[in-house]
Amino acid sequence: MKRLAATVPDLAGSGHMSCTFCRLIHEDTARWVFRGQLASAFAPLNALAPGHTLVIPTSHYTDIFDTPSEVLPGIMALVQRVAVEMRTTLAAGGVNILNASGPGSEQSVPHLHFHVVPRWPDDGFSTWPTQQSQHHVGVDPVVRLTAAMTASHQTTGNY
């Protein structure tokens, strides 16, 4: 994947210099896989696998809930491009795409990010949860989600 220069957002006075990922962008201190105006990708300090890459919006958005819906397609296009390069360049058999959004999700850095982790048969680890949640939601959650999705689709109609 080609390394490109990106327009660095002006973070002075934005309050985002306390964000680890915003500082990496501003100070240009990451091991960049790709830098773009909308999304960027870099190697994490503690990779789960060879080639493990983080994809982030170049502008600061805290999580999936904070990110404008028109920004997400560009970020996901970079996630897909990184995944394809992992398969072709690193001969990965597949990838895991991981995201945690919000305080109840174990999100470690409050800047939207997707871990793209290349996988190979018998690579010795699992990224799937090994336990089920003990939380209960009363009324059938599938019924509740279906009703909410139907109602929001009628008002937004954008998917």
Whole-angstrom distance, CA of residue 43 vs CA of residue 51: 7
pLDDT value at position 76? 98
Q: Which amino acid is at 79?
A: V
pLDDT value at position 138? 86
109's tokens: 């850095």
Instruction: Report pLDDT digits (tens) over 102-112.
Output: 989 999 999 99
- Active-site positions? 113
Average pLDDT, integer, range 109-137: 92
38's tokens: 């909308």
Whole-angstrom distance, CA of residue 38 vs CA of residue 5: 12
Distance (Å) of CA 138 to CA 41, 133, 134, 135, 143: 40, 14, 12, 10, 11
Residue 155 has pLDDT above 70, yes or no: no
Q: Which of 38-52, 90-104, 119-133 shows the lowest mean pLDDT across its residues?
A: 119-133
Instruction: Report pLDDT digits (tens) over 131-154.
Output: 888 888 888 999 999 998 888 766
- Identify which of 15, 14, 20, 61 has the alpha carbon closest to the alpha carbon of residue 38: 61
User: How much is the pTM?
Assistant: 0.85
